[in-house]
Structure 1
Amino acid sequence: MAGQGFGFQATAGLTGLGLPSVSAQWLEGAGDGSRFRGQRVLSRDLDVPLDIVGRDREHLRKLLSRLARAVAGECTLVLLDDEGVRWSTSVYRTGGGDIELSSGNDLQTVLSFRAPDPYFTASTVATQVVGGDAEATPFLSSLTALPLAASQAIGEIQLDNVGDADAYPVWEVYGPGHDLTVKSPTGETLRWTGTLGATEKLVLDTRAGTVKDGTGANRYSLLAPAPRFWTVPPGISTAYVSLLDTTAASKIVCRWRPRRWMVI
């Protein structure tokens, strides 16, 4: 619509794209100073300046009504980086939208939003696949591994997170197989002690903290005690994978969407 001389256009002055605020915890003791106990990243606040131009006053009123409906609920802020990758975050309007009436058919306003998730998530999905070779080569062929027996696999896989924040992996396991273990580069362990048949699948979503089979049934109860739904750190790292009772058809797929603090 902007190319036809009317519609909505974001103008210069967008704020809130930098590093989000953090809340730090400190332990105050009897001695001098304090000790750092940790921190959490807070929600991101953004201000988006808009220029709204109508064909006439009546059309301008319709555009304002359309804008009000569009930002009444959850919205998605999308940014495009220099490499053509789309990064997005969900936002909700928290204020702004004031207008100054005039006799013209255009006006300027600023909308304020809050992003509950302070990170920007990529539209692209990173994938690492282990096993499932179409030509029936051994499951271990995809691993830097040490074979324990003909039907057992144990080894390492390389994870490459191109973002600059931790990413949440989703593990998809295709049977047959038994007793899955995935261990993070820092030693955090997520182990599932159940058994998958040749036609069964298991999905472990680390962000949601769920474990379901291919039918959507809950299989969380088969996790080993004290499970850690660990994240993929930025950069290249090495994770540990173990699966027993495998065949050439067995496969593990690890997927994640990279995340960034900032997109410029």
Structure 2
Amino acid sequence: MPLIVSRQAGGVYTPPVLTPDPYVPLFPPLDTTRPLAVYIDPLGVEWPLSDPGLGWATIDEVEGLGAVEYELTADPHPRGGSRVRHSQPVSRVLNWPLLIWGDTHTEFLTRWRALARAFTLARRLNLPPGRLRIFRPDGSAREILVRYQSGFRGEPGAGFTEDTAIVVLYAEDPYWRDVKPLTLSYGSAAPRRFLSPFPSVSSGRVLGEAEVWNPGDADAWPEWTLTGPCDGITATNHTTGEAFTLTYPLTAGQKVTITTDPPTVRGPAGQVLTWALNWPGAVLWGLEPGLNDVDFAVVGAQAGASVDLSFVPRYETA
């Protein structure tokens, strides 16, 4: 607070002497040595959350960027204590406080309404979730899928030229993930010697043995794209001991997409082909953190047949 000094000498009133505080800008310039945050709404519009030049800024009270929380299921042990039977990651809740302001009430209100609409779009289940993306000073980035839960209520006594929204975001999948997927492609136009990581075409089969590295902290759930001409595929993860076989003929250029989370199989016209898996033994497997020994066989493959394996690594923290 300023120091106010006044005195009255000889019956003559001397006005107070005001000693101002050192000037400190209310909204300092953007610090590129700190993490930056961007919210991407369900329509794909990007909303920077760390640039005061736009009329809003993140307050340093963010919560929810740490490690995933787990719910443990344990059974009593006859020798005392208990033994954990299952560890279940639970959904994450993030608190993201935003200070929003304007030079006039109209300017403030326009910004408040625009941000509120961008976040609340993600509550609509017919739209995809929003994405909260964190950029680090080294250029790396991770993101998490979120839906709006609450926060645009405003603070008592505020709401004329500034207000604070404590945005609460709900993440069904509590793990952070890379912004772009990793994709491995396998295929060959003619018979040839095996050249890692590209498999050969031999005796009507595309054979592939590969070491797939998952750099994340949690299981990653891949998506397979099988392109004909071929009669199907058998894919095995020897690290987990799981496998599946899909039997379905494809002509040249036709594709089948196999998604492991959620488990779905879609044919060339988008039709459901889940019935073409080798039930009940089929397991649409994931990739464990670290090294995974994978092999597959594309049955009846001819020139032009190929397989793409794509996955997004997932992490405990932002």
**Both structures adopt the same fold (TM-score exceeding 0.5):** yes
- Which of 186, 193, 214 is residue 240 of structure 2 equivalent to? 186
User: Secondary structure, in 3 states, of the residue corresponding to 2:210?
Assistant: strand
CA contact (8 A) 1:139 1:153 kept: no
CA contact (8 A) 2:188 2:198 kept: no
Alignment of structure 1 residues 66-85 onto 2, 5 Å: 66-74=114-122, 75-85=130-140
RMSD of aligned C-alpha atoms?
2.7
- Which of 149, 158, 163 is residue 107 of structure 1 equivalent to? 163
User: Secondary structure, in 3 states, of the residue corresponding to 1:66?
Assistant: helix
TM-score with structure 1 setting the length: 0.86
The code of the aligned residue for 1:119 comes to: Y
Determine if the alignment matches structure 1 residue 229 to structure 2 residue 284: yes
- Which of 73, 81, 85 is residue 37 of structure 1 equivalent to? 85
- How far apart are 1:156 and its partner, in Å? 0.9
**Deviation larger for 196-205 or 84-93:** 84-93
Unpaired stretches in structure 1, ≥5 consecutive residues: none
Alignment of structure 1 residues 179-218 onto 2, 5 Å: 179-184=232-237, 185-218=239-272
Distance 1:192 1:25, change over 3 A: same
Alignment of structure 1 residues 127-166 onto 2, 5 Å: 127-133=183-189, 136-138=190-192, 140-141=194-195, 150-166=203-219
CA distance in 2, matches of 1:172, 1:103: 51
CA distance in 2, matches of 1:214, 1:146: 24
- How far apart are 1:41 and its partner, in Å? 0.6
Unpaired stretches in structure 2, ≥5 consecutive residues: 1-47, 123-129
- How far apart are 1:80 and its partner, in Å? 1.5
CA distance in 1, matches of 2:167, 2:173: 18
CA contact (8 A) 1:6 1:53 kept: no
TM-score with structure 2 setting the length: 0.73
Q: Can you list the C-alpha shifts for 1:222-258, whole angstroms capped at 9, x where unaligned?
A: 1102211111122232201112222232111101112
CA distance in 2, matches of 1:221, 1:27: 37
Determine if the alignment matches structure 1 residue 219 to structure 2 residue 267: no
Identity of aligned residues (%): 24
The answer to which structure, 1 or 2, has the higher relative contact order (CA under 8 A, 6+ apart) is 1
User: Secondary structure, in 3 states, of the residue corresponding to 2:109?
Assistant: helix
Alignment of structure 1 residues 17-32 onto 2, 5 Å: 17-28=65-76, 31-32=79-80
CA contact (8 A) 1:77 1:90 kept: yes
- Alignment correspondent of 1:65: 113
CA distance in 2, matches of 1:221, 1:259: 29
Alignment of structure 1 residues 8-19 onto 2, 5 Å: 8-19=56-67
CA contact (8 A) 2:247 2:277 kept: yes
Q: Can you list the C-alpha shifts for 1:39-72, whole angstroms capped at 9, x where unaligned?
A: 2111111111211110112322332222332222
Counting matched residue pairs gives 260
- Alignment correspondent of 2:316: 261
Distance 1:94 1:200, change over 3 A: closer
**Deviation larger for 38-47 or 24-33:** 24-33
**Deviation larger for 43-52 or 243-252:** 243-252
**Deviation larger for 37-46 or 119-128:** 119-128
The code of the aligned residue for 1:157 comes to: A
Distance 1:96 1:155, change over 3 A: closer
User: Secondary structure, in 3 states, of the residue corresponding to 1:231?
Assistant: coil
CA distance in 2, matches of 1:141, 1:178: 23
CA distance in 1, matches of 2:290, 2:174: 20
Distance 1:256 1:82, change over 3 A: farther
